[in-house]
Amino acid sequence: MKHRIGRWRRCYDPDGEESRLGWGEERFVDKSSTDEHEETAEIMEESESPSVNNCDDTQWSTNKVCIIDEGSEDDATSDAIAKATYLIPLIEQWLSLASDQMTYDNVDVVAGTRRKSGEPGLRVNASALIRKVQQELGPMPSPECPTAFAVWGAALLNPLPALGVATEIRGAVLEAEGAERKLGVLERGLIKSINNLDGTRPLNM
């Protein structure tokens, strides 16, 4: 059975007249188990993708979605919690340096948003950008939730829109297995960015 399911995302009018919201295409197929109450969804290969072109993108899907609230993290070990706690001062130091416009008067500081390479100043207001990102991310997660802490820290270090003062770590954090490894990626990213921002060791972008 094919289900119409996906993200409600912005797409474009086929006639190019205006933008509108519509269903984005998702690829999957049901696989029935011996238990009639058990069904799982598997990602299909590109060649097996079901077409959703005939779906009316002005209608909401009636498919049921199960949302899992994990509550607490299974890998919140004492070592992971201690690691997250250790990273808090580094995050605070990074915030202080990255938000200070005077940081970027040092032309040795690598920043993707410089007005011109080798000259002081940025095209953006770093302090305002970081405040906006913090508002969107919400408060820093507790070290008691080290995985959430690591993901939050990676999103702060690599904000959107980009500030360009740190290496990209979001993918590496997501791919790392376990809270401690995720925090390790965050720690390395923080240290490299701090060394860049204080002029100790510019980034190789």
134 vs 188: CA distance, rounded Å = 21
The sign one gets for the Cα dihedral 112, 115, 117, 119 is negative
Q: What is the per-residue pLDDT across 59-98, written as a single tens digit (0 to 9) for each? A: 666 666 544 445 556 678 999 999 999 999 999 999 999 9
Query: What's at 29, amino acid-wise?
Result: V
User: Cβ neighbours of residue 143 under 8 Å, at least 6 residues apart?
Assistant: 81, 82, 84, 85, 88, 149
User: Cβ neighbours of residue 56 under 8 Å, at least 6 residues apart?
Assistant: none
pTM here is 0.65
Q: What is the per-residue pLDDT across 120-178, written as a single tens digit (0 to 9) for each? A: 988 889 999 999 999 999 999 999 999 999 999 999 999 988 899 999 999 999 999 99
